[in-house]
């Protein structure tokens, strides 16, 4: 084979690879748009009247996740099944965002932490990497850390809306979450930096709870039976 023939073959391989990346990019753009729609919908819970419409917003978000599952099915067909991590960087960010959104919906519904397996089911992908397109553990953990930041914001807005019991429940949840992360030996630099931000979320929520305490509103929240979820 001549040098020109060798490089012509290399160009063909590069072109094929670029075509795959372009197809992936198109589906990822659609996923990002759906994620923005879900986020916009859920942001309504931070507004005063939003607390009264949490069940409806969660139900609507679940419907959007149906679109996500369809888009994920399309994404799976765009690259060889054994090359997940070769192209992972293309969808890593949007997948972490979708994990956060799924976790936020589940928290709003039940005030519990969604499992990685449950998130994978919501998104229409696998939890086990041996079974193909899957939810990487680090992507799951990154989404959960974003949830912590969102709940810190929700704690503040709950007080503004007159819901004094919710910040107490959020505080208990975040402290339990923090304890869970302390059990992990995080090697990933990006994930480690994001975890370092969790302590600021904990501090922010503790300040909200302390403010309720000195104003005597934490007792009112307890007597009130814990408030509505």
Q: Measured between alpha carbons, how far is residue 87 from residues 75, 110, 119, 204, 206 in Å?
A: 11, 35, 21, 37, 40
Q: At what angle do helices 116-123 and 54-76 cross, to 10 degrees?
A: 70
* 5-42 burial code (b ≥16 CB/10 A, e <16): eeeeeeeeeeeeeeebeeebeebbebbbebbeebbebb
Region of 210 on the Ramachandran plot (φ > 0 left; ψ -120 to 50 alpha; else beta): alpha
Does 150 carry a binding-site annotation? Answer: yes
Cα 63 versus chain centre, distance: 17
Name the binding residues for Mg(2+).
150
Name the binding residues.
150
């Amino acid at each position: 084979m001549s040098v020109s023939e060798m490089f012509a073959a290399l160009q063909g391989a590069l072109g094929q690879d670029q075509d795959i990346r372009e197809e992936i990019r198109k589906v990822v753009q659609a996923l990002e748009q759906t994620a923005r729609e879900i986020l916009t919908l859920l942001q309504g819970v931070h507004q005063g009247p939003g607390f009264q419409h949490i069940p409806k917003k969660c139900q609507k978000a679940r419907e959007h996740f149906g679109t996500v599952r369809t888009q994920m099915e399309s994404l799976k067909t765009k690259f060889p099944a054994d090359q997940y991590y070769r192209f992972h960087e293309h969808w890593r960010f949007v997948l972490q965002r979708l994990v956060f959104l799924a976790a936020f919906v589940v928290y709003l519904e039940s005030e519990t932490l969604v499992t990685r397996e449950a998130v994978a089911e919501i998104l229409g992908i696998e939890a086990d990497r041996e079974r193909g397109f899957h939810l990487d553990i680090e992507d799951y953990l990154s989404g959960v850390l974003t949830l912590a930041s969102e709940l810190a914001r929700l704690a503040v807005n709950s007080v503004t809306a007159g819901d004094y019991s919710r910040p107490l429940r959020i505080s208990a949840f975040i402290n339990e979450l923090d304890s869970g992360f302390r059990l992990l030996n995080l090697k990933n630099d990006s994930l480690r930096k994001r975890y370092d931000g969790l302590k600021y979320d904990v501090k922010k929520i503790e300040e909200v709870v302390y403010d309720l305490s000195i104003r005597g509103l934490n007792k009112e929240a307890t007597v009130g039976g814990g408030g509505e979820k």
